[in-house]
């Protein structure tokens, strides 16, 4: 094995996998390592989508998380590096057949994995996420009946390990909400996200789950560098997704409630412009520092919404129910310190375009950064490009 890794601590846990902070054993370089257990074909399909998307982006954009390597766990103490450009055949077969071969007893009996080249000590962490979760109750296909005699199967894939760059600033929620509001920082974050999504759409990748939890931050002397991550729900098309001839339509209702576009809420077919709606929700929340707290959660999240009495309704859901709904951007014309000043007229108009009920009325990703920069300049002639 070319690289051996040491896992030091758990830094995140979601519906599908666990993320550890680790180091390359030979160099000491910090990395993030995500373990994705291959327990059923539905999960495996999401993992392969993430792997393919991350391979396509490789290390080609500073605002997209970089994948260093991928490893297949085929036994309690066995890891097999996956060669670049090759597909994990066993996992592809699992998706096509709709079943995963029964795995051996898990090596995680006592909370400690001991794998070839990898030693991990996990810490207890609640599995509940403060963000809306992706559905976990999908029906599972029955495994194909086994013949009485069959050839010796290939080694089972117990888990897929993705080794990525480590982001020391945590996710965007944690990074921004743990610091006093700063307009220049907010503007930089918005511009960087524009660049990232334009890059992804240019490669034919629709993310489909853009939200602050899926944006990681690297802290540098020049300011925060944001990285779009978590491509488990992403889809790839043959060409740039904003081109008329290659605009791909999707039908699966997926994403996170407070950031989903109205057409996704309504179960209609949709395109990459649903990503632009999600960005609009994030931008509005970042620029005005709008937060919400889900029932039973203790961590605030950045996100815009519509108030229905005592209840909060996601923008996409509200617009699906009433396409003529008039959103109030900014939410308040006067903001008490230390909250940031409200967006100006030009930025507010752009946000409304991004949050339009009609997907075709939203700007394309490759136009977005220029429009954001122009709107910020119109609202404040002293604003400098970053």
Query: How far are the Cα atoms of 101, 149, 158, 355 from residue 145, in angstroms, in the given order?
Result: 11, 12, 21, 49
Q: Which residues contact 343 (CB under 8 A, 6 or more apart)?
A: 284, 287, 288, 329, 330, 351, 379
Tokens of 283: 């931008």
Q: State the angle between helix axes of 345-354 and 273-288 in degrees (0 to 180), rounded to the nearest 10.
A: 140
Per the CB < 8 A criterion, the answer to whether 72 and 127 are in contact is no
Per the CB < 8 A criterion, the answer to whether 90 and 44 are in contact is no
In the chain, the N- to C-terminal Cα span, in Å, equals 41
Query: How far are the Cα atoms of 80, 242, 264 from residue 359, in angstroms, in the given order?
Result: 44, 11, 11
Q: Which residues are catalytic?
A: 209
Distance between CA 372 and CA 374 in Å, rounded? 5
Distance between CA 273 and CA 65 in Å, rounded? 22
Q: Which residues contact 342 (CB under 8 A, 6 or more apart)?
A: 288, 330, 331, 332, 333, 334, 335, 348
């Amino acid at each position: 094995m070319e690289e051996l890794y040491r896992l030091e601590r758990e830094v995140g846990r979601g519906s599908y996998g666990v993320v550890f902070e680790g180091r390359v054993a030979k160099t000491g370089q910090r990395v993030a390592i995500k373990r994705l257990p291959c327990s059923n074909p539905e999960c495996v399909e999401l993992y392969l989508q993430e792997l393919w998307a991350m391979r396509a982006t490789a290390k080609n954009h500073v605002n997209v998380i970089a994948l260093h390597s991928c490893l297949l766990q085929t036994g309690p103490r066995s890891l097999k590096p996956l060669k670049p450009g090759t597909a994990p055949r066993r996992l592809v077969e699992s998706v096509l057949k709709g079943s995963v071969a029964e795995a051996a007893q898990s090596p995680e009996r006592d909370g400690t994995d001991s794998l070839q080249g990898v030693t991990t000590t996990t810490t207890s962490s609640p599995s509940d996420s403060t963000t809306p979760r992706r559905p976990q109750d999908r029906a599972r296909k029955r495994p194909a009946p086994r013949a009485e005699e069959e050839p010796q199967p290939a080694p089972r894939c117990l888990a897929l390990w993705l080794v990525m760059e480590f982001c020391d600033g945590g996710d965007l929620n944690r990074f921004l909400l743990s610091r006093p509001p700063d307009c220049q920082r907010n503007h930089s974050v918005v511009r960087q996200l524009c660049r990232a999504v334009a890059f992804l759409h240019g490669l034919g990748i629709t993310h489909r789950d853009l939200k602050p939890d899926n944006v990681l931050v690297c802290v540098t002397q020049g300011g925060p560098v944001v990285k779009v991550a978590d491509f488990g729900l992403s889809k790839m098309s043959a060409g740039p997704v904003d081109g008329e001839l290659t605009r791909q339509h999707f039908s699966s209702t997926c994403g996170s409630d407070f950031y989903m576009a109205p057409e996704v809420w309504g179960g209609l077919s949709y395109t990459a412009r649903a990503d632009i709606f999600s960005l609009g929700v994030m931008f509005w929340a970042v620029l005005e520092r709008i937060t919400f707290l889900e029932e039973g959660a203790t961590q605030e999240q950045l996100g815009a919404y519509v108030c229905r009495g005592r209840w909060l309704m996601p923008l996409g859901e509200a617009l699906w129910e009433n396409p003529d709904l008039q959103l109030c951007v900014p939410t308040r014309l006067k903001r008490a310190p230390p909250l940031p000043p409200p967006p100006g007229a030009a930025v507010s108009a752009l946000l409304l375009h991004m949050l339009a009920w009609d997907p075709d009325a939203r700007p394309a990703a490759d136009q977005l950064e220029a429009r954001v920069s122009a709107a910020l300049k119109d609202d404040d002639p002293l604003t400098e490009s970053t």
